Chains A and B, each alone.
Chain A
Amino acid sequence: MTSTNRFLNRLLVLVAGLALLAVGGAIAVGVLLPDARDAVSGVASDAPSAVSSTLSSAPWIPWAAAVACLLLIVLLLWFALRQGHGRTGTLLRVDASPGRGTPTGGSVTVDAKVAEQVLTDALSRVPAIVALDVTAFRVRRQNVLRVTAHTRRGASPVAVRSEIDRAVAHWDAVLGRETPVVIQIVAGLRTRVAKAARVA
């Protein structure tokens, strides 16, 4: 549900993997094949003098390389820190307009907390559900509610879903409009700690 760019994640892992595979493969194969080995050792014996002569003729190269390293670090840091974003505290915002079903002279903002409390209250008496997490996400210019139900051991997932659907219908009636809802029915730590369901 988060705005994590999954393609970028896979691309980074793929590029790093291909680079390691190519370098490692080249090292292993290059040493094993005599022709490749001779070619590589020819280049290798020239390399140190070539590097030192280049460095003495162009002393800015280490500085440029260091700046490039810094830029890449900033880029990777941004990449790592932008994972898992996309949560929002606001579920719905209705701006003033003269049409029906809209406020006049002001706007209405409904927090995701309201949905959380209404749904949690409606489902608190369902024995199959141990705990409920409700979070709002901003996905494709829409605010989506994610309802995570931690079930009691042995609870029927079909029954849990129909209970949540009923609570969502109740919430729709309270709110007056429908926002997308994604339900997760999971068995986590809280399931293991809770007692098992005793009645079907």
Chain B
Amino acid sequence: MTTPALYRRLVRRETHSSRAGAAIAVAVVLMLLLAWVGTELVLSALGQPALLVAPTDAVNALAGAVAAPAGIVVAIGAVVAVIGLVLVVVALTPARRDRRRSGLDRTAAVVDDRVIATSLARTAAYAGDVDPEQVHVTVARRRASVVVTPSSGRRTDLAAIRSAVDAEVADYDFTPALRANVRLTENGTVGA
């Protein structure tokens, strides 16, 4: 009854953004623009004074813009083109969210990278006998970097931290898989 295909689709939808924000923003701007143009058209057809610019004046102004100083026109064109380029990039990039999927079983699961980071930080803190505040974890797409700041005057066992973190990462069944990279900072912290 629960098909893997359905789960794959759902997990993909949870790990990628729907781009709803960008689409709604574009739709709202377009709606405002269309509402304004429509109002001006009706007002000019009725012979009423325009809200901002009458359509015929707008056409004249656009035609006159060719004669305007080249620098300003080029700058306006470049800004418009850059906004367009940003929208094209937004439309075509995969828009991954910082999440990864866990193995499919009776259920499908998606795990936030922040959960993985705090979990690794606690594992490293316990193994190294330091405060969790002294561990800084960054989870990238395929690598987790664990940076431990030792307590000043105490020896911190890097090998123990590394094996504990590796054991935890080996327990994960996430896709994309993670590789952990543990290191100590040069300078310790005082008063921990």
Contact = CB atoms under 8 A, between A and B. Distances in A.
A200 B178 CA distance: 21
Contacts of B73: 27-28, 31
A61 B153 CA distance: 84
A160 B123 CA distance: 15
A45 interface: yes
B53 interface: no
B13 interface: yes
Given A41-B67, A80-B24, A181 B111 contact: no
**Chain A contact residues: helix, strand, loop or mixed:** helix
Contacts of B86: 17
Given A6-B18, A9-B20, A32-B74, A183 B90 contact: no
B75 to A, nearest CB: 8
A177 interface: yes
A196 B31 CA distance: 47
Nearest to B24: A80
B171 A158 contact: yes
Contact of B106 (A18, A84, A168): A168
B80 to A, nearest CB: 3
Interface string B6-17: 110111011000
B70 A52 contact: no
A115 B83 CA distance: 46
Interface residues of B, number: 81
Given A182-B10, A196-B132, A151 B88 contact: no
Contact of B74 (A1, A28, A62, A142): A28
B159 interface: no
Contacts of A16: 26, 30, 84, 87
Contacts, number: 264
A175 interface: no
B42 interface: yes
Interface string A147-176: 100010111111011001100110010000
B56 A185 contact: no
Nearest to B60: A48
Nearest to A161: B109
21 contacts: A2-B13, A2-B18, A4-B18, A10-B91, A13-B19, A14-B88, A23-B77, A24-B81, A41-B66, A44-B63, A47-B62, A55-B56, A62-B41, A62-B44, A63-B41, A63-B42, A155-B115, A180-B10, A182-B109, A182-B110, A196-B132
Given A73-B38, A185-B112, 20 more contacts: A6-B19, A10-B92, A17-B84, A18-B84, A20-B84, A27-B77, A28-B74, A40-B66, A44-B66, A63-B42, A65-B37, A66-B38, A80-B28, A140-B6, A153-B118, A160-B115, A178-B106, A180-B108, A182-B107, A185-B111
